[in-house]
Amino acid sequence: MKVFYTWQDFDKDCRDLAEIIKENKVEYTKIIAVTRGGLFVAGMMSHFLKKVPIDTVCLSSYDGDSQGKMNILKLNTSDEKVLICDDVVDTGNTAKELKEMYPNGKLVVLHYKSIRSPDIRPDYFISDTNDWIVYPWEVGETS
């Protein structure tokens, strides 16, 4: 099923995620945004978690609609306590790569597709779904 996620949903879910993260009382030194969808999540987490600085990592495994080999387009390694932000864990391939790159990092996403990626679980997420999520920042996805 295709679900259209709104900016209002995004705002509420990011606020809820930030509260869950705050409950764990961990001080993150940096937020790593996974481009592109993670940029939005990272920006909100930085605001809600007292302006933690943001850096980016860019991974790509898609060529159009087909998934292939994981390519690292921009890397920013760190052994600090980082919060890794993305929009969704779908197949789990990106999440596995990120966990290897940032062994002290915690992964936060809006949506987790456990049916498609049972071997990797984000540290923080709002919902477990099998739906196709269309985010408001995705270009060309209108129906």
- When mean pLDDT is compared across 22-26, 37-41, 65-69, 95-99, the lowest value belongs to 65-69
Structure confidence at residue 35 (pLDDT) = 85
What are the chain's domains?
Answer: 2-22+32-61+68-134 (3.40.50.2020)
Which residue matches tokens 């900016």? 7
Contact 73, 58 (CB under 8 A): yes
pLDDT above 60 (res 64): no
Structure confidence at residue 33 (pLDDT) = 92
pTM across the whole model: 0.85
Active site residues: 86-87, 90
